[in-house]
């Protein structure tokens, strides 16, 4: 009797996956494969550069290409230091990169706060004119700028590079986009409480904008580290050369030392690669949040 009142549940066979799910899964797999292939294509030249730095000169351009050295020539990394002024080049590059990055982060975030949260006559026109300078190539005003800095006796000094790169319209634009995502009510409440604009910028805006600041710092650091034309114009003394200028001179002197040239290239790329890998999470987050609107 109980069996009739409570029949046993009927087990149905599992439903076949929908064609749409199969298509989405196949598309995802193809997307991952495409990303893997693209990543391998991008990283292949860097891998070849690192491997070549551990080869002898005769092995660098042998055919067919050998993707692993027959014996790792680690002494190349010792020879590059003894046969060049690598310490001075790296020291100047690190100094310029750090100082310029700090100044651009400070000036860019401070100016962006004024454009985003302070109302004054002509604000939008001034911001549009300032950002419009991004469309003007540096080569168009390179000579007048050089004449001006020469008259100020800044040529052939590290101050010349700091002066021309301490301000950047791109940093102001990125930070303004982020600051506009911060609610105006938060800033107005701080003003009602009696906090000054400097206090709002320092105590509220800066702590909230860590991802955007990290993105701006990373972009500026990479740009300054890899800059070649600026130091080429302004830094003529050997003791002021950056690593880009130093490697160019080293290549001209040791044009047949291919392994050492690759070793110097690795040393110039390695610090930036490490910094980017460490800060890539903040970089991606900052780039994503700068597109938000409040």
| pLDDT value for 105 | 92
The mean pLDDT of 21-36, rounded to a whole number, is 82
Question: CA 80, CA 243: separation in Å to the nearest integer?
Answer: 12
Q: Which of 21-25, 60-64, 105-109 has the highest mean pLDDT?
A: 105-109
φ and ψ at residue 248, rounded to 5 degrees: -60, -45
| pLDDT confidence bin for 85, thresholds 50/70/90 | confident
Instruction: State the pTM of this model.
Output: 0.79
Closest CA to 218 of 131, 286, 137, 288: 286
**Cβ–Cβ < 8 Å for 218, 276:** yes
| pLDDT confidence bin for 123, thresholds 50/70/90 | confident
Residue pointed to by tokens 């549009």: 128
| pLDDT confidence bin for 41, thresholds 50/70/90 | confident
The mean pLDDT of 226-253, rounded to a whole number, is 87
**Cβ–Cβ < 8 Å for 238, 138:** no
The mean pLDDT of 171-180, rounded to a whole number, is 88
| pLDDT value for 288 | 59
φ and ψ at residue 260, rounded to 5 degrees: -70, -35
- The three-class DSSP label of residue 223 is helix
129-164 confidence digits (pLDDT tens): 888 888 888 888 888 999 999 999 988 899 999 999
| pLDDT value for 95 | 94
The mean pLDDT of 84-91, rounded to a whole number, is 88
| pLDDT confidence bin for 6, thresholds 50/70/90 | low
């Amino acid at each position: 009797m109980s069996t009739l009142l409570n029949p046993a549940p009927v087990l149905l066979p599992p439903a076949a996956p929908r064609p749409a799910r199969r298509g989405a899964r196949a598309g995802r797999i193809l997307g991952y494969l495409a990303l893997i292939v693209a990543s391998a294509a991008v990283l292949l030249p860097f891998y070849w550069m690192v491997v070549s730095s551990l080869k002898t000169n005769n092995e660098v351009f042998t055919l067919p290409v050998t993707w692993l050295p027959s014996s790792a020539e680690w002494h190349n990394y010792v020879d590059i230091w003894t046969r060049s002024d690598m310490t001075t080049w790296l020291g100047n590059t690190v100094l310029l990169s750090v100082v310029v990055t700090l100044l651009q982060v400070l000036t860019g975030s401070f100016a962006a706060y004024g454009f985003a949260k302070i109302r004054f006559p002509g604000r939008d026109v001034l911001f549009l004119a300032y950002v419009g300078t991004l469309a003007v190539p540096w080569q168009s005003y390179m000579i007048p700028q050089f004449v001006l800095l020469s008259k100020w006796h800044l040529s052939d000094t590290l101050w010349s590079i700091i002066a021309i790169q301490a301000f950047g319209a791109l940093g102001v634009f990125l930070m303004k986009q982020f600051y506009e995502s911060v609610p105006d009510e938060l800033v107005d409440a701080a003003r009602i409480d009696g906090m000054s604009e400097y206090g709002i910028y320092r105590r509220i805006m800066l702590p909230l904008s860590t991802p955007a600041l990290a993105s701006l710092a990373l972009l500026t650091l990479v740009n300054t580290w890899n800059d070649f034309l600026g130091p080429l114009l302004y830094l003529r003394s050997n003791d002021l050369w950056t690593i880009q200028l130093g490697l160019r001179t080293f290549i001209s002197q040791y044009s047949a030392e291919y392994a050492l040239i690759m070793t110097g290239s690795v040393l110039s790329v390695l610090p930036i690669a490490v910094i980017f890998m460490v800060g890539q999470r903040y970089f991606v987050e900052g780039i994503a949040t700068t597109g938000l609107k409040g």
